[in-house]
Amino acid sequence: MMTARTKRAILILVFSEFLICLGIGLVIPVMPFLKNELHFSATDMGIMTSLFALAQFIASPLVGRLSDRLGRKPILALGLLLYMFSEFLFAWSNNLALLNISRIIGGLSAAMSIPPTMAMAADITTERQRAKVIGWISAAFSGALILGPGFGGILANIDYKAPFWFAGTLGFLSALAVLLFLPNEDELVHNTPSSPIISEDRKSTLSKMNTVFTGTVITLFVLILVSSFGLQGFESIYSIYVNEVFGFSINNLALVLTLNGIISLILQVVFFERLVNWLQENTLIRYCFFFSLLGTIWIILAHSKLEVIIATLIIFSSFDLIRPAITTSLTKISPHNQGLINGINMSLTSVGNVIGPIISGALLDLNHHFPYIVVAVFLAISLCLSFMLKNNISTSATKDC
């Protein structure tokens, strides 16, 4: 059973994640119109997205390890404040250089927000509870997408920069919620064998690396690295692609993303834990990669908005289950190194996030269908890699450790 303080901490983590992701959802339908308003190329937009991911890549392992030593709460709060600043700077700027700087700061803020959130969730839950809690945190993203794109579309009709001002305000509210209402870590009952804040002199660095980098973990990390190319390659240009190829308006994009948010919320809150218990994480990952590949091919061959909408819902729903499934697997591996593991997870994802948007943006400038052909290839590779995972990740990981 969870203690009252643990439930309170989980509630604040979910709430903070919801507010941040709501801010992200606000700006998604605005990106193609920002591109047109400021006369940027798809490559410019890809580089802008990649700078965000590059900052994540560099900072995530360092921040993850720092959160193991100093605690999750202060790192999380600082990350949320940086997110606020990055969104305000983006809203204020019309210069490409300043917009790129704001994305770098935003990437740093993501590195300081997401790994500590996932690590803290793993610290204060048992292995049996973990899939449910991580499902809740992942559902915060989907729940935010239900409201975010709709609000973003409304705000963009007033001014296309308004969603960014609103997102920065949400970042400030999230930071306040963490500082005022999230219990300190020493007040929580940890379900891991010891506190996540571990002195460096307890084990040698080499010993810790041997504990973390088992065969199962390496397979998962390789899968994260390869799949991130496909996932981010698809997501980074989606709004631009459907706007230019199929004539989607802000309202069309808001509708699609809202429908996706509703479906993903139901999948993650109601079905994710059941799917993990029934199929195990690796089988769920395989199914998700298969359906995301199928949906991508469908979009390439689509001739109508309805086909694109259906294929999009299949793809994004699959993506929304892949991420928590892989994260759940990793949280079961090493109870003493959650910050490090989640930081490496974020960094490997960010490698794909750095290269994927640039490649997709450049390909989109050449031909509208080239990016998704490349995405389909990466998703096919990811599907093949998923068959390298053992049948029971939890059991395998325990043996490896």
HEC states along the chain? Answer: CCCHHHHHHHHHHHHHHHHHHHHHHHHHHHHHHHHHHHCCCHHHHHHHHHHHHHHHHHHHHHHHHHHHHHCHHHHHHHHHHHHHHHHHHHHHCCCHHHHHHHHHHHHHHHHHHHHHHHHHHHHCCCHHHHHHHHHHHHHHHHHHHHHHHHHHHHHHHHCCCHHHHHHHHHHHHHHHHHHHHCCCHHHCCCCCCCCCCCCCCCCCHHHHHHHHCCHHHHHHHHHHHHHHHHHHHHHCCHHHHHHHHHCCCHHHHHHHHHHHHHHHHHHHHHHHHHHHHHHCHHHHHHHHHHHHHHHHHHHHHCCCHHHHHHHHHHHHHHHHHHHHHHHHHHHCCCCCCHHHHHHHHHHHHHHHHHHHHHHHHHHHHHCCCHHHHHHHHHHHHHHHHHCCCCCCHHHHHHHHC
Residue 30 contacts residue 160 (beta carbons within 8 Å): yes
Cβ-Cβ contacts under 8 Å for 173 (sequence gap 6 or more):
19
Cα-based torsion angle of the residue sequence 116, 138, 233, 338 in order, rounded to the nearest 10 degrees: 30
Number of Cβ within a 10 Å radius of residue 275: 21
Distance CA 54, CA 306 (A): 35
pLDDT at 310: 94
Contacts of 205 (CB under 8 A, 6+ apart): none
Residue 250's pLDDT is 76
Rounded to whole angstroms, the Cα distance separating 157 from 381 reads 41
CA distances from residue 279 to 178, 200, 275, 284, 379 in whole angstroms, order as listed: 35, 38, 6, 6, 20
C-beta of residue 52 within 8 angstroms of C-beta of residue 106:
yes
All domains in the chain, ordered by first residue: 4-187+206-400 (1.20.1250.20)
Q: In the chain, what is the greatest distance between 2 CA atoms, to the nearest angstrom?
A: 61
Segments of the chain scoring below 50 in pLDDT: 192-206, 392-401
**The predicted structure's pLDDT at residue 209:** 52
Residue 240 structure tokens: 């631009």
Quote the CA–CA distance of 1 and 283 in Å, as a whole number.
28
pLDDT of residue 336: 59
Q: What is the pLDDT of residue 210?
A: 56
Global pTM? 0.67
Distance of CA 327 to the CA centre of its chain: 10
DSSP string, 92-141: H--SHHHHHHHHHHHHHHHHHHHHHHHHHHHHTS-HHHHHHHHHHHHHHH
DSSP tag of 186 = G
> d(Cα 348, Cα 73) in Å, to the nearest integer?
24
| Structure confidence by residue, pLDDT tens digits, 131-154 | 677 777 777 766 676 677 667 777
Do residues 107 and 55 make contact, with C-beta atoms less than 8 angstroms apart?
Answer: yes
Which residues make Cβ contacts (< 8 Å) with residue 10, sequence separation at least 6? 2, 121, 124, 125, 133, 136
